[in-house]
Amino acid sequence: MKTGGPARKRMPPADDEDAVKFCSTCAFSSACLSQGFDKSQLSELHVLVMHVGPFAPGEHIFREGDPFNAIAAVRAGTVKTYVVDSHGREQVQGFFLPGEVIGLNAIHAARYPANAIALDTVTLCRFSFPQMSLLATRLPGLQQHLFRLLSHDIGKASLLAGDFTADERMAAFLIALSRRYAARGYSGSHFNLTMARTDIANYLRLASETVSRVLRRFQDEGLLCIERREVQLLDRMRLEQMARVVLRD
Amino acid sequence: MKTGGPARKRMPPADDEDAVKFCSTCAFSSACLSQGFDKSQLSELHVLVMHVGPFAPGEHIFREGDPFNAIAAVRAGTVKTYVVDSHGREQVQGFFLPGEVIGLNAIHAARYPANAIALDTVTLCRFSFPQMSLLATRLPGLQQHLFRLLSHDIGKASLLAGDFTADERMAAFLIALSRRYAARGYSGSHFNLTMARTDIANYLRLASETVSRVLRRFQDEGLLCIERREVQLLDRMRLEQMARVVLRD
DNA sequence: AACGCCGCTTGACCTAGGTCAGAGCCAAAC
DNA sequence: GTTTGGCTCTGACCTAGGTCAAGCGGCGTT
């Protein structure tokens, strides 16, 4: 465990006008929009949003055990969540890209059950959860959206669960990442890994040496091209094929 | 994959009076009660409940891909949920004891993402989800309860996720089972496994042979006494100790 | 430019647990 | 009772991936 990283810097709180404008690009709201929210409903949502960050790489966003009061949508950057087991080893629980929501698993115990750390420069939209659920009683669409969001994450967790081979896990990881980037309008075939090999290893429950070896072999077999953290998927079909067992689709 | 099992038999639908009385023991309602619901609110909840079953052992409750419209609380018996991977191997996702809620991960896609099967004679309380979430807009306590329930299940899924040894997994499984039985008023130290060894193996991502061997060794070491499916935990302390890494407490 | 650090790679070896095969054993059916 | 059939157990072997140890290289620092 490294100590805290660079000191936390926050942007000056934007005034409400700004918040609404600024946030109109934020994924959570846009998801709500696409759920058929009208403008006035959306602005109700916006008054309880707060922009936080930027967080510098290595800076913690919250820590295990912190009291929970807000969920957050990633606006920019990548967030890693992890816990440290009793042997001092890091178990990575997930990576969150722009548009994805952190903290949903904290509602239950009213405490964050894991640490969240910025992998690069991260900015967030923070939603007060008490206010949000209050608002959800008046906006059934919002309630619905929250239920779906939560339900979705239950299934997502079992991606890691099965007993899959290293190849299957790695392929699934890359394909999932690719799809998530593509869904946000980035290239799905050529992107940068924002996380270290060891992070990937801890996430996939492999040794970092295995991650290296598998990536090497994938490259030798012409499935992809990887240099440092820059990946290019060359044979998407075969990767999808390998990932199918894990992703179930 | 076996074919359907014995034909599905249902109890004649109970009239509303009955339902309220009958269901007052059901875990979901009692959880709501303990959330500070008053009698009249509870009865609102009860009108949208439907008792189903009994399901005979081996009978399916729902199947992967079935359209989702209701969550269900187990009243009696044990339910196993599982999927079948492309190699035809069964991946057990969970076991649900009386008082536990099935189907929460189906909200997202509006379809059940797994099969659910009765391991012994099972009865359920079925809650129409659309009606329930509608009601939740008027009863903030219910909404809160649902959020918590969903949030809880997100974390639960990662019990399997870590890279743990067979011993740790097995110990964690037994301790978790013990706690869940104890929480329902049954003995936490002496209970019956309602599932086969192969089910446990598929759940813990081990081979059934490994499950056998580990249980054998646990018995030899005086940790427990197991005969057929009857377990008695003898050295709870050491089991808890082994399980700690997995259960994180 | 030289240094040092950290993340990454590669090779050699080892072990936890999977796989295969066969045998016991309880329970329901005949 | 005998049979049948599904679980369960046990032993012998094997392999995927972890561990250990040692180089390598890019990058920021001085």
pLDDT at residue number B39: 66
Structure tokens at A107: 């509602």
The nearest alpha carbon in chain B to A105 belongs to B151
In chain A, what's the furthest Cα-to-Cα distance? 56
Shortest distance, CA A18 to any CA of chain B (angstroms): 30
Contact flag B136-A146 (C-beta cutoff 8 Å): no
Confidence of residue A5 (pLDDT cuts 50, 70, 90): very low
A226 touches strand C (CB under 7 A): yes
Structure tokens at B221: 């070491």
Greatest mean pLDDT among A81-95, A197-211, B12-26, B150-164: A197-211
Tell me the per-residue pLDDT of A105-123, one tens digit each, with 9 for 90 and over.
Answer: 898 889 999 999 999 999 9
**Beta-carbon pairs below 8 A across chains A and B:** 111
A192 touches strand D (CB under 7 A): no
A16 touches strand D (CB under 7 A): no
- Is the CB of residue B33 less than 8 Å from the CB of residue B89? no
d(CA A157, CA A134): 27
Predicted confidence (pLDDT) at residue B24 exceeds the cutoff of 80: no
d(CA B169, CA B167): 5
Residues B10-22, mean pLDDT to the nearest whole number: 41
Q: Which residues of B lie inside 8 Å of A (Cβ-Cβ)?
A: 83, 85-87, 91, 93, 104-108, 113, 133-134, 136-138, 140, 143-144, 146-155, 157-158, 160-163, 205, 244-245, 248
The nearest alpha carbon in chain A to B246 belongs to A85
Beta strand extents in B166-206 (DSSP E only): 190-192
d(CA B245, CA B240): 9
B219 touches strand D (CB under 7 A): no
Q: SS3 for A7?
A: coil
Strand order in the sheet with B224-227: B190-192, B230-233, B224-227
B21 touches strand D (CB under 7 A): no
Residues A13-35, mean pLDDT to the nearest whole number: 48
Confidence of residue B60 (pLDDT cuts 50, 70, 90): very high
Q: SS3 for A118?
A: strand
Nucleotide nearest the Cα atom of A216 (by C1'): C9
d(CA A199, CA A147): 30
Average pLDDT, chain A: 83
Nucleotide nearest the Cα atom of B226 (by C1'): D8
Q: How many CB atoms lie within 10 A of CB A148?
A: 17
pTM: 0.84
pLDDT at residue number B3: 36
Strand order in the sheet with B122-128: B49-55, B122-128, B70-76, B101-102
Q: SS3 for A51?
A: strand
Tell me the per-residue pLDDT of B109-154, one tens digit each, with 9 for 90 and over.
Answer: 899 999 999 999 999 999 999 988 888 888 888 888 888 888 888 7
pLDDT at residue number B195: 94
CA torsion through residues B85, B91, B95, B101, sign: negative
Average pLDDT, chain B: 83
- Is the CB of residue A101 less than 8 Å from the CB of residue A150? no
Shortest distance, CA A205 to any CA of chain B (angstroms): 6
| Beta-bridge mates of residue B204 | none
The nearest alpha carbon in chain A to B201 belongs to A163
- Of B28-37, B57-66, B160-169, the one with minimum mean pLDDT is B28-37
Predicted confidence (pLDDT) at residue B12 exceeds the cutoff of 50: no
Question: If you search the block for the tokens 């994450």, which residue do you land on?
Answer: A153
